[in-house]
Amino acid sequence: MPLSLPRRARRSLLAAATGAALTAGVLATASPAAAGPGTAGPGGPPDRAPLVVETAEGAVAGSRPGDYRLFQGIPFAAPPVGDLRFRPPQPVQPWEETLDATQPGSACPQVSSLTNPTSSTEEDCLYLNVTTPAGLDARRDRLPVMVWIHGGSWRTGSGDRYDASKLALEGDAVVVTVNYRLGPFGFLAQDDLSAAIGDAGSGSAGLLDQQAALRWVERNVAAFGGDPRNVTIFGESAGASSVCAQLASPTAAGLFDKAIAQSYSCTTRYASLDEAETVGEGVATAVGCTGEGAAVVACLQRAPVPDLLRAWPAGGGSFVVGGSSLPVQPADAITSGTWNRVPVIHGNLQDENTLFTPLGVPPAQLPVLLDPRNYDTVLAQRYGARAGEVAARYPLAEYGSPLRVLAAIASDTGSALSTCEHVDAYEALDQRPRRDRVYAYQFRDQTADPLLDFSRPPFSFPAGLYDEGAQHAGELPFLFPGLFGDGLTAEQEELSTAMVRYWTNFAATGNPNGRGVPAWHRYSDPSDVQGLDLASAGGIGPVDVAADANCAFWDTF
């Protein structure tokens, strides 16, 4: 029977016999599917790939915005509402009529912010999107598959924001972008919930949503021209954290063949189940769910979405270690060799923390930290007798303000995004005697548009005091056109083309090298990291990121 929730009804299930909700032009393009995918009339040449595709759950009708096909809002799991809130994802109910896949599904519950334009209270949100070249033949073509897991601090974002057409067309790939539950709906752990859920433990919903999407790919991507035996997961920030967690998850074994983690170290540690349950008790109390046992579970499942979003700690929560899907820390799984060993690309940006450093400072202190006259005082307060050594490596003349110096230091060391933390991850992944295939990179374009421009309101930092550089997320528009900023320059387009080739070569073969791109060496030591920069600023080639980030110096602290 059709999926019959009210929101789904509003999106229109298309009657296959009448095509009532599709335009005549779309139907005309899709109609050859009756003769078989990618076929034309008798004696004719191969037609465009069909816009109606049969999945294991039912037919979906997509669109052709350009030289690519786009299928949006395909449900990969049952709506996680009512008794299914917080629980592992359940199978989606098949549908009989053709599903309108021309519009995205809802984003998962989240609150908009300076870096996130999306706000949602809709829990029916487990949808994915598929982008393919338009000219493939789904009967014969088996293109590499890339599954994108979005970032957003585990509390914001959605898969439909990412235009995957460049990757699909230039890389000849099928790209799938997915939603997963966020904030308390994906990561809330609480002891009564854990008792009700069982071995998986509470706080595992977001991780398991991603695995449910990968199982959808396993069942269905061949119908879109993708190879279910050649799947690469990739993600940025919290999405890279997700990639790292999936590398360590025993329940993800066999669901992917390669992995790309952008801007989050795979050796970062997460809260244990006990630690996360303590936080969850505070959330439960905040929404009025006190007591114990089944009554608390029922109360949490009835709590209004806005109340749970408000109760979620400002620092948020992420993956929880201790359930069957993530029994040990990813760092421990990697160092012990018990991870899902596949080829990996892992990297970061040179100036990751120019985004986060000002956001972590009380507004009243920003003028103090932007004043160059306070440089010596600021370093002395933080580094005491060693302030002079720090100043020698981070001279004020090079950075403009104490705040920018602190951002440079944070970008180099001391966080999951930092270069030195990434070097630690490369070393852990590149284990001997079995050296896994690891390729490391650093994005270094100092002219890339920042995700958050601090020269504009509400910050309006004075010119010359805070240059964002290669800020966290700055590489994303090079892979996903138009995501933010003013678009790429001609020189940036050249770098974008090279990056897309590297990423899609890797998805196809497990090796980013190929025609038209500079050689990229497998990781052996920090001098093997591939710098990704504009031709006028040094171009693409090996850089010693550990030396640039003063990692040996910071190891002495």
Q: Which of 204, 472, 475, 496 is catalytic?
A: 472
Task: Please tell me whether residue 206 adopts helix, strand or coil conformation.
Answer: helix
Does the annotation count 472 as an active-site position?
Answer: yes
For 345, list phi and psi in degrees, rounded to 5: -105, 130
Residues 279 and 317: beta-carbon distance below 8 Å:
yes
For 543, list phi and psi in degrees, rounded to 5: -135, 150
Q: DSSP letter at 120?
A: B
Q: Interhelix angle for 375-383 vs 402-412, to 10°?
A: 40
Closest among 91, 102, 62, 79 to 4, alpha carbons compared: 79
Beta bridge partners of 98: 14
Distance separating alpha carbons of residues 295 and 424, to the nearest angstrom: 45
Q: Which of 120, 153, 194, 237 is catalytic?
A: 237
Q: Which of 97, 352, 421, 468 is catalytic?
A: 352
Residue owning tokens 């009835």 = 302
Does the annotation count 237 as an active-site position?
Answer: yes
Distance separating alpha carbons of residues 550 and 557, to the nearest angstrom: 12
Distance separating alpha carbons of residues 490 and 480, to the nearest angstrom: 16
Residues 539 and 203: beta-carbon distance below 8 Å:
no
Task: Please tell me whether residue 72 adopts helix, strand or coil conformation.
Answer: strand
Residues 323 and 188: beta-carbon distance below 8 Å:
no
Residues 247 and 217: beta-carbon distance below 8 Å:
no
Closest among 257, 281, 279, 283 to 270, alpha carbons compared: 279
Does the annotation count 352 as an active-site position?
Answer: yes
**Annotated active-site positions, please?**
237, 352, 472
